[in-house]
Structure 1
């Protein structure tokens, strides 16, 4: 996440706003934040994961959606809108370009997003009742972390070989994630 804009917006203004096309914009506590452009490794990783998820959703009621889908979460009664790299939805509650019931969220980490994705977003996403998993994939080195929702709460797993993704019941291997990614 980059520095916020100086002027605050209401939720309604943000949802109507069609900001500059050179960035994607998230909404947190009345401020909008530009999302930095993606690196080549980021794009390759995203493509690798999306291909696997699209194949897994082909004959299911679930959908795998890349980065333009806003996900709304609430913190302290206030809405926040994030644009995850990939969202899997099985029981959609979509209004316009906003989803409130994702079952899996994927964020690809970079130097500029790592701290926010691993802390604030992880905490915010885990407030979603529908969310079963939050996958964090590093774009600067081979490292994959997975937050899994269990009956005892959220558990963080470091993925060394593969992770069984909820919602789709499909394995995602570290080799598959980083296939042809020059790191």
Structure 2
């Protein structure tokens, strides 16, 4: 079946979107009747090897969460290919990592009540992940924390929802730093998140020597 990019430009029902995803080789985002390939936000201009770095960072985050939750809180940790209902019936996408701890969140294909969302940034997606996507995620009443992990430098930004429904930013830049995840009583070390990732400081393109 062709992907949404080659389909006629029109609005699709949610049912048509779900049917497309069942048969498509790539993931699509659904927003108020519009369908867009997720890959369109990962442009060739990204650094060489970014796909492997991105994938490894996603795996590291998911593994650290699963390991930390083992034998403790019963939460589901899902990576990349599990759909999230950002706005039921209107907006669906695929976060890099999503955690749900709601026992009623038992849909086999879709997460409805995320507690934590992690996105791994790239050059082409960073502005969108920090801006429009975060605005959309803030609509989710269950969401307690939104984390952005840079793949181009050692940098993790964590936005934690306060009791006043505002978002408190914590920025971490050292391998010895730990990321608190209070909603699930965990602390994730940046050393684990960036395992096997070259975290050498970036050099200016025009630097000498």
Q: TM-score, normalised on structure 1?
A: 0.87
Look up the SS of the partner of 2:135 in the other structure. helix
User: In the alignment, is residue 178 of structure 1 matched against residue 197 of structure 2?
Assistant: no
Q: CA deviation at 1:157?
A: 1.9
| Equivalent of 2:85 in 60, 72, 78 | 72
The equivalent position to 1:104 in structure 2, one of 73, 93, 116, is 116
Partner of 2:185: 169
Provide the aligned length of Structure 1 versus Structure 2: 177
Is the Cα–Cα contact under 8 Å of residues 90 and 167 in structure 1 kept in the other structure?
no
Task: Show CA shifts across 1:118-158 (max 9, x none).
Answer: 11111111111111101110112211111101112222221
Q: 1:50 to 1:133 in 2, by over 3 A?
A: same
Distance 1:33 1:166 in 2: 34
SS of residue matched to 2:114: coil
SS of 1:147's partner is strand
Task: Give, in whole Å, the separation in 1 of the partners of 2:77 and 2:38.
Answer: 20
Preserved contact between residue 57 and residue 63 of structure 1 (Cα < 8 Å): no
Query: Match for 1:10 among 13, 17, 26?
Result: 13
Select which of 89, 92, 98 maps to 2:100. Answer: 89
- For the pair shown, which has the larger CA radius of gyration, 1 or 2? 2
Q: Which has the higher contact order (CA 8 A, sep 6+)?
A: 1
Decide which moves more: 61-70 or 165-174.
165-174
Query: In 1, Cα distance between the equivalents of 2:193 and 2:158?
Result: 13
Query: How does 1:33-52 map onto structure 2 within 5 Å?
Result: 33-36=36-39, 39-52=51-64
Q: How far 1:19 moved relative to its partner?
A: 4.8
1:90 and 1:69 mapped to 2: Cα distance?
15
Greater than 6 Å deviation, 4+ residue runs: none
Q: Which runs of 5 or more structure 2 residues have no equivalent in the other structure? A: 43-49, 200-209
C-alpha RMSD over aligned residues? 2.0
The match for 2:172 among 152, 155, 159 is 159
CA distance in 1, matches of 2:167, 2:138: 8
* Native 8 Å contact 1:109 1:137 kept in 2: yes
Q: Which residue of 2 aligns with 1:26?
A: 29
TM-score normalized by the length of structure 2: 0.77
Are 2:14 and 2:89, in contact at CA under 8 Å, matched by a contact in 1? no
Q: Which has the higher helix share?
A: 2
Is the CA contact 2:178–2:189 (under 8 Å) kept in the aligned structure 1?
A: yes
* More deviation, 30-39/121-130: 30-39
Is the contact made by 1:57 and 1:64 (CA closer than 8 Å) also made in structure 2? no
